[in-house]
Structure 1
């Protein structure tokens, strides 16, 4: 004799308060990303899956959530997708379809992505790692997808560099070096400043298909700092990075503003309601604290601010 198992989740809660997000985290899946005329990239991605919960329902169907996410991600593993954010979007839309009590479904993922590149001075092949972040939110109004990356680079503090310039100028004057020579020397040879490892985050969220290339996102974020850094570096590469970063000293605020310029230059096709998230965190080398700056802004506002409209 079989027994009907009770659906406790569908009963009413003792406290009738709705919940913004209920779901599962730490879901690991392999995802294939297709590339034209190349083998697909395989990522080990960690997913989070959420739906909203009305006040009249005790809980979500956790097993159904896992069933849906397994189904869509297993398909994504077999059939290579062209964009990781589309994988999130497909899953969010399926969640919305399968839950008649929810009005909002969210799927997000993170994965480590490895790119090959050449060292800046010795032109040797090396690799660098990037954290991909992608997400999607599906509602009855439609689906918005987000793609982005967290990258590491190098910054140099303009304030400490300015003090070094003043010290060098005073010493050269004491040595009776002509003013014209002092100016030329200081223009050509950047003076010391304390350097920091910087962490830049850039994401783009938009409805429909915004046509954002992940590689472009990575490049804009890396180039917003004082200099790129490289996993493998010979002495000429180290000299290149040191000189370049000290020639391009930036505060944490400057990095976010440089990112904003890069977004407008590389993603000018984005619609006005696309949401850009830009953040920079610097691991200070002469302080125990760190520095942080960020901006979340719609593309229309960003265009107005950068262009001075």
Structure 2
């Protein structure tokens, strides 16, 4: 005689408190992304999947979570998927359907992606890596919100330390008898030293439905928000070009976030006012043991209003 196994997860917990996010993280899947005029590319992606858990339920049925993930991601590998944010949105909606006791499901994805590049001085082909970020939240009775973006690396130079070096150079050149006009012209043409950092910029856009933005466009905005781009391959002329550009465009961590905001408003003017833009910049300091961080999360309406103020 067979006995049905007890559904322990469905029993009441000892402490009846609801939980906002319960699920699984670190789920790795191959995802095939189709392109209209080119060969598809395959991502090794890592997923996190969560739902809310009511206070009267002890636990989540993990097998149902994994079933929903497998169903959608296996379909993504075999069928054309043109937008990863749509894929995670579908996963979130299916997850919500499979759990009658939940009201919200969230799916997030990260994957490393190599983009073709060319070195700044020698114009040699090379590659750069970016992290593709996608997430979606499905909520009962509301449109599914989808988010897409990228995390990239770059280089920044501290304007404060550079300013002090410029003053030192100005005084030394004056001591050597160089006239003030020549000193000013020299300092305008030759940026002075400043301590540099490896910068990490994150830029994402979230809307109700299709954000209608290109991941690579967002990656370009994020890379250009820092003092200079960096490259995996760099001959000596390229190293010189990167160093010069970075020091000619010294930026604080705060400047990078503001540059992202300005570029997003210019490049993504089709986005609705209620689109939410997340901009983060973290710099690995070279002369300190701490790091620098700045961020802003705002709607497009808020950014448009602030940038248009006199």
TM-score (norm 1): 0.98
Once superposed, what is the RMSD of the aligned Cα atoms?
A: 1.0
User: Does 1:233 find its partner at 2:234?
Assistant: yes
After superposition, the C-alpha distances for 1:220-243 in whole angstroms (9 at most, x for unaligned) are: 000000000000000110010000
Q: Distance in 1 between matches of 2:54 and 2:195?
A: 53
- Aligned equivalents of 2:31, 2:308: Cα separation in 1: 39
* 1:160 matched residue in structure 2: 161
Cα deviation, residue 120, structure 1:
0.8
**Partner residue in 2 for 1:170:** 171
Match of 2:127 in 1: 127
8 Å CA contact 2:147–2:211 kept in 1: the answer is no
> Mapping of 1:201-220 within 5 angstroms?
201-220=202-221
Please say if 1:197 is aligned against 2:198.
yes
**How far apart, CA to CA, are the structure 1 residues paired with 2:12 and 2:72?**
30
Partner of 1:86: 86
Instruction: Output the CA distance in 2 between the equivalents of 1:148 and 1:37.
Output: 22
Report how many aligned residue pairs link the two structures: 309
What is the match of residue 150 of structure 1? 151
Aligned to 1:138, what secondary structure does the other structure show? strand
* Residue 70 of structure 1: aligned partner: 70
Structure 1, residues 251-285: CA drift from partner, whole Å, max 9, x if none? 11101101111111111111111111111111111
CA shift, 1:210, in A, is 2.0
- List per-residue Cα deviations over 1:134-153 (Å, max 9, x = no partner): 10000121200111111100
SS at match of 2:144: strand
Question: Match for residue 223 of structure 1?
Answer: 224
Task: Give unmatched runs, 5+ long, in structure 1.
Answer: none
The whole-number CA distance in structure 2 between the counterparts of 1:160 and 1:226 is 14
Instruction: Give the Cα–Cα distance (whole angstroms) in 2 for the partners of residues 222 and 307 of structure 1.
Output: 24
Contact in 1 for aligned 2:281/2:293 (Cα 8 Å)? yes
* Residue of structure 2 in register with 1:5 after alignment: 5
Q: Which runs of 5+ in 2 are unaligned?
A: none
Preserved CA contact (<8 Å) 2:43 2:111? yes
